[in-house]
Chain A
Amino acid sequence: MANAKPKMQHRAKLMRTWPLLTPAVGVLLLWALVPLAMTLWFSFQRYNLVDPTISGFAGWSNYKFLVESPAFLASILNELVMVAAVLVITLVLGVAFAVLYDQEFPGRAIARLLVIGPFFVMPTVAALIWKNLLMDPVNGVFAYIARSLGFTPLDWFTHAPMAGEVMIVSWEWVPFATLILLTAMQSLDRQQIEAAKMDGARGPQILRYVILPHLSRPITIVMMMETIYLLAVFAEIFVTTSGGPGHATTTLTYLIYQKALVAFDVGGASAGGVIAVILANIVALFLIRSVARNVDL
């Protein structure tokens, strides 16, 4: 129907929709605005829950104090390293798995289920299973493998704490990338691949000229969705290293948590919160634009 769009929009006039929309829009509006406004307000206040004598307008001092603390720069860097490393790992493996599990082989359906399984493991379980059962330097499976190959087992959370976190978080998010890219893969017209083969394209060329272009948009979406979630990684650090040793695994999220619920420094935590919101919004802007192009009414 050439005039489907105006027709649909016109129907709206036949019915008042705002009573139906009010509940969802109302609560989301409160949820989105009130806490954010409070964070902004607190970030300019002297406010500590354990010391009521600290009070009054703080100006930019909360921000100044935060930014000048050695932990802040480290936390931003850690955050970036974590997000970037996990993104690269999950996207490379995600594309590889999407292509692999798009092929027919006996038991493929079950193998697929096994690959996406880790996504449904709660973060605290994932982190503790990896930290103890797998990565423990004495009794862990990795240590055993290292010893049997003649290496000294690595004490991950002492000597390579960030690498340890990246491994755990990647394991949780590879399934996400795989699941979405595999779904996108299945919408690829098989005849395109057959045509490319008739044109003489071999495996790597098919990947480069047919598959990757087809996946480019889903990859962008996976990248942005993951970034949003990865910026907020918390439980894994909480149960494995608590941000340590030193500040080695303190991300911005974890730093804010420490200021908030360990030091009860409302002002400082809120200043950090504002920075976190700004960081996330930069990514969110691109993500929403990309989703917007895909919405058809």
Chain B
Amino acid sequence: MCTLELKNLRKAYGNVEVIKGVDLTINDREFVVFVGPSGCGKSTLLRMIAGLEEISGGELLIDGVRVNQVPPDKRGLAMVFQSYALYPHMNVADNMAFALRLAGVPKAERDARVAVAAKTLQLDALLDRKPANLSGGQRQRVAIGRAIVRQPKAFLFDEPLSNLDAALRVQTRIEIAKLHNDLKSTMIYVTHDQIEAMTLADRIVVFNAGRIEQVGTPLELYHNPANLFVAGFIGSPKMNLIGAEVVQTDGSASMLKLEGGSGFAVPARLAPGAKVTLGLRPEHIELAPEGGLAGKVEVVEHLGNETIAYADIGAAQPLTVKLSSDAPVRLGETLHFALRGHAASLFDEQGQAIALPGT
């Protein structure tokens, strides 16, 4: 059982406020991912939860108990550090058993718990090795194992994959997902990588400049970004964001004039003359024989399973379009694009999403 409640949590260094009031409830057995650009405060918030960073304001509750002043080891949480922070002079088994040793757990039980964790993580054969003799991926597993043996109320991960190479990162990501299924414990995971966030999270919390921008399941964030920041952060390749002006409103639909001059109809009643931003996911755009958006293809990336094209539609940024791998796209040719279904997003001048029917 572990529920965490963050109530108006704040952190300031002198006059500089880096966490500007965070309200969030993390449910038991939930996998929550904090995501955001570097410097957004997500790591600081994790360290505040861990007890490594003093809380300047607000309340942190674990299972309903206020823990603002509780030292880190008494909060019942375990943390996996970005640098792994293994004790270089201890072997794998001692590293994993260290917290238990400090807590005075008898040796037999320590060994048993280390053995179980080692088996889960396939570390059995490495228990006598020192960290220096392990590969990056093995070190990472030891760091996770060290957290597991403590049987914590919740796991905290601070960018645990960022020191691994790309292939290992995918593999370890899958292992962490499996681990969450097996252990069924609460996990908080910090990353700047939106793919890690999308693949691992039950719920994603998007941070920017010390504030929460949006909380939601991966698909909620993907389909209904609350604002421009989330729209631009979630999804790869990034959502096309095109400046536009409402030129005409007709019943329940409005006509937009996009940057670069093309027209685009959206199913919403908007005030004529309003400045908005149109958001189009690259994967929701398809080729059309004529009409729609027209653009000259500037760059084509053939990825094998799909083809990404960048077309100049006269806007500040080229339009990114994800097409099937056999799409007949040639550099320099002018293509016409249409939206598949009604999957567009619309944002007002303040960057907040405007509700569209059918999305």
Kindly specify which of A7-15, A19-27, A166-174 makes contact with the partner chain. Answer: A7-15
Q: How far is the CA of A6 from the CA of B15 in the complex (A)?
A: 11
Please tell me if the beta carbons of A6 and B16 are within 8 angstroms of each other in the complex. yes
Please tell me if the beta carbons of B14 and A6 are within 8 angstroms of each other in the complex. yes
The minimal Cβ–Cβ distance linking B164 to chain A, given in whole angstroms, is: 20
Please tell me if the beta carbons of A3 and B13 are within 8 angstroms of each other in the complex. yes
Please tell me if the beta carbons of A10 and B54 are within 8 angstroms of each other in the complex. yes
Please tell me if the beta carbons of A14 and B54 are within 8 angstroms of each other in the complex. yes
Partner of B39, one of A2, A6, A10: A2
Please tell me if the beta carbons of B54 and A13 are within 8 angstroms of each other in the complex. yes
Question: Which residues of A1-45 are within 8 A (CB) of B?
Answer: 1-3, 6-7, 10, 13-14
B67 on interface, CB distance cutoff 8 Å: no
Q: How far is the CA of A205 from the CA of B18 in the complex (A)?
A: 50
B53 on interface, CB distance cutoff 8 Å: yes
In the complex, the chain B residue whose C-beta lies closest to that of A10 is: B13
In the complex, the chain A residue whose C-beta lies closest to that of B18 is: A3
CB neighbours (8 Å) of A7 from chain B are: 13, 53
CB neighbours (8 Å) of B16 from chain A are: 3, 6
Contact flags (1/0) for B4-21 with A, using CB distance below 8 Å? 000000000110101000
Q: How far is the CA of A10 from the CA of B13 in the complex (A)?
A: 7
Q: How far is the CA of A7 from the CA of B12 in the complex (A)?
A: 10
Q: Is the interface of A mostly helix, strand, loop or mixed?
A: helix
CB neighbours (8 Å) of B39 from chain A are: 2-3
Question: Which residues of B2-57 are within 8 A (CB) of A?
Answer: 13-14, 16, 18, 38-39, 43-44, 53-54
CB neighbours (8 Å) of B38 from chain A are: 2
Q: Report the count of interface residues on B (CB-CB < 8 A).
A: 10
In the complex, the chain A residue whose C-beta lies closest to that of B43 is: A1
In the complex, the chain A residue whose C-beta lies closest to that of B16 is: A6
CB neighbours (8 Å) of A13 from chain B are: 54
Q: How far is the CA of A264 from the CA of B44 in the complex (A)?
A: 65
CB neighbours (8 Å) of B53 from chain A are: 7
Q: How far is the CA of A10 from the CA of B11 in the complex (A)?
A: 11
The minimal Cβ–Cβ distance linking B70 to chain A, given in whole angstroms, is: 13
CB neighbours (8 Å) of B14 from chain A are: 6
Q: How far is the CA of A1 from the CA of B16 in the complex (A)?
A: 15
Question: Which residues of A82-123 are within 8 A (CB) of B?
Answer: none
In the complex, the chain B residue whose C-beta lies closest to that of A5 is: B13
Question: Which residues of B261-304 are within 8 A (CB) of A?
Answer: none
Q: How far is the CA of A13 from the CA of B39 in the complex (A)?
A: 23
CB neighbours (8 Å) of B13 from chain A are: 3, 6-7, 10
Q: How far is the CA of A13 from the CA of B53 in the complex (A)?
A: 11
CB neighbours (8 Å) of A2 from chain B are: 38-39
Contact flags (1/0) for B40-80 with A, using CB distance below 8 Å? 00011000000001100000000000000000000000000
The minimal Cβ–Cβ distance linking A2 to chain B, given in whole angstroms, is: 5
The minimal Cβ–Cβ distance linking B149 to chain A, given in whole angstroms, is: 27
Q: How far is the CA of A196 from the CA of B98 in the complex (A)?
A: 52
The minimal Cβ–Cβ distance linking B33 to chain A, given in whole angstroms, is: 20
The minimal Cβ–Cβ distance linking B313 to chain A, given in whole angstroms, is: 37
CB neighbours (8 Å) of B54 from chain A are: 10, 13-14
Q: How far is the CA of A7 from the CA of B16 in the complex (A)?
A: 12
Among A1, A2, A10, A13, the most chain B Cβ lie within 10 Å of the Cβ of A10
The minimal Cβ–Cβ distance linking B216 to chain A, given in whole angstroms, is: 28
CB neighbours (8 Å) of A6 from chain B are: 13-14, 16
Q: How far is the CA of A13 from the CA of B44 in the complex (A)?
A: 17
Q: How far is the CA of A2 from the CA of B13 in the complex (A)?
A: 12
The minimal Cβ–Cβ distance linking B231 to chain A, given in whole angstroms, is: 25
The minimal Cβ–Cβ distance linking B46 to chain A, given in whole angstroms, is: 13
CB neighbours (8 Å) of A10 from chain B are: 13, 54
Contact flags (1/0) for A118-141 with B, using CB distance below 8 Å? 000000000000000000000000
The minimal Cβ–Cβ distance linking B339 to chain A, given in whole angstroms, is: 40
CB neighbours (8 Å) of B44 from chain A are: 3
Q: How far is the CA of A2 from the CA of B38 in the complex (A)?
A: 9
The minimal Cβ–Cβ distance linking A7 to chain B, given in whole angstroms, is: 7
Q: How far is the CA of A10 from the CA of B18 in the complex (A)?
A: 13
The minimal Cβ–Cβ distance linking B218 to chain A, given in whole angstroms, is: 28
Q: How far is the CA of A2 from the CA of B42 in the complex (A)?
A: 13
Q: How far is the CA of A6 from the CA of B56 in the complex (A)?
A: 14
CB neighbours (8 Å) of A3 from chain B are: 13, 16, 18, 39, 44
The minimal Cβ–Cβ distance linking B34 to chain A, given in whole angstroms, is: 16
The minimal Cβ–Cβ distance linking B1 to chain A, given in whole angstroms, is: 29
In the complex, the chain B residue whose C-beta lies closest to that of A14 is: B54
CB neighbours (8 Å) of B18 from chain A are: 3
The minimal Cβ–Cβ distance linking B221 to chain A, given in whole angstroms, is: 26
CB neighbours (8 Å) of B43 from chain A are: 1
Q: How far is the CA of A3 from the CA of B13 in the complex (A)?
A: 9
In the complex, the chain A residue whose C-beta lies closest to that of B13 is: A6
Q: How far is the CA of A14 from the CA of B47 in the complex (A)?
A: 15
Q: How far is the CA of A146 from the CA of B43 in the complex (A)?
A: 74
In the complex, the chain A residue whose C-beta lies closest to that of B44 is: A3
The minimal Cβ–Cβ distance linking A238 to chain B, given in whole angstroms, is: 47
Q: How far is the CA of A1 from the CA of B54 in the complex (A)?
A: 17
Q: How far is the CA of A1 from the CA of B18 in the complex (A)?
A: 13
Question: Which residues of B232-288 are within 8 A (CB) of A?
Answer: none
Q: How far is the CA of A49 from the CA of B16 in the complex (A)?
A: 63
The minimal Cβ–Cβ distance linking A112 to chain B, given in whole angstroms, is: 27
Q: How far is the CA of A10 from the CA of B44 in the complex (A)?
A: 13
Q: How far is the CA of A47 from the CA of B274 in the complex (A)?
A: 94
Q: How far is the CA of A7 from the CA of B52 in the complex (A)?
A: 10
Q: A3-B16, A6-B16 are known contacts; what are 15 more A-B pairs with Cβ within 8 Å?
A: A1-B43, A2-B38, A2-B39, A3-B13, A3-B18, A3-B39, A3-B44, A6-B13, A6-B14, A7-B13, A7-B53, A10-B13, A10-B54, A13-B54, A14-B54
12 A-B Cβ contacts within 8 A? A2-B38, A2-B39, A3-B13, A3-B39, A6-B13, A6-B14, A6-B16, A7-B53, A10-B13, A10-B54, A13-B54, A14-B54
4 closest A-B pairs (Cβ-Cβ)? A6-B13, A2-B39, A10-B13, A3-B13
